[in-house]
Amino acid sequence: MKKYFFFIAASIMMGGCDHSHNANATGQVNGHPIYGETFDPAGKVAVDSALIALGANDSLDMKISGKIMASCTGEGCWLEMSLPNGEAMLVKTQDKFFIPTSGVQGLTAVVNGKAFKQEAERTEEQIAANTPAKETIKFLATGIMIENYKPTDEHMDAKGGEHDHNHEDCKGHDHKEGESH
């Protein structure tokens, strides 16, 4: 009976989190962890040059480097990279790989995958004034390298894998624009 009670209590305390998606590096380049598919970061472009690198293409496979502004604190399924105009480029993870949910803000990431041009939403005033929409960029990553990221003991689970999310964040955390994770 005690074992049964312990199992129920432990399940409730876990908050229903699916720990099968803990962020675990799949490789390293020059001591920097890579999440998702491993890749060579050579040939990367700076995030502020990514829109120019896209040129006339609506989308393009590329590698982009930039500072991480924010990341998903619930599952680690997205991050935002800082653009020179103060806005952010949203980077979503593909194929259900996850990045650390804390300790990455301010670090430099290299994302590998597909960049997409997208028109930024306009306000009603901008539409009424016939102000043209600004082009922005979004990214679907197949792999992400985070430079100088070192998980601390609080980010590690009992098996030595990274486990750095707060269980309170697992329920109802905000996914950007219809993410399916």
Write out pLDDT tens, residues 10-67: 333 333 344 334 578 888 999 999 999 999 999 999 999 998 899 899 999 999 999 9
Instruction: Tell me if 114 is assigned to some domain.
Output: yes
Element (H, E) at 137: strand 135-146
| 99 part of a folded domain | yes
Quick one: tokens of 152?
A: 């601390």
In a domain, 15, yes or no: no
Residue 150 is assigned to a structural domain of this protein: yes
Whole domain around residue 126: which residue ranges? 20-169
Q: Over 70: is that where the pLDDT of 7 sits?
A: no
Residue 136 lies in a domain: yes
Domain contains 14: no
CA 139 to each of CA 25, 30, 47, 91, 120: distance values in angstroms, whole numbers, following the listed order: 20, 24, 11, 5, 14
In order of 54, 67, 71, 87, 122, the CA distances from 84 in angstroms are 17, 11, 18, 7, 19
Within a domain: residue 176? no
Is residue 9 over pLDDT 70?
Answer: no
Task: Convert the pLDDT of each residue in 125-139 to its tens digit.
Answer: 988 998 888 888 899
Give per-residue pLDDT as tens, 39-51.
Answer: 999 999 999 999 8
DSSP states of 67-95 as a string? Answer: EEEEE-SSS--EEEEE-TTS-EEEEEEST
Q: What is the CATH number of the domain that holds 80?
A: 2.40.50
> What is the number of domains present in the chain?
1
Residue 37 lies in a domain: yes
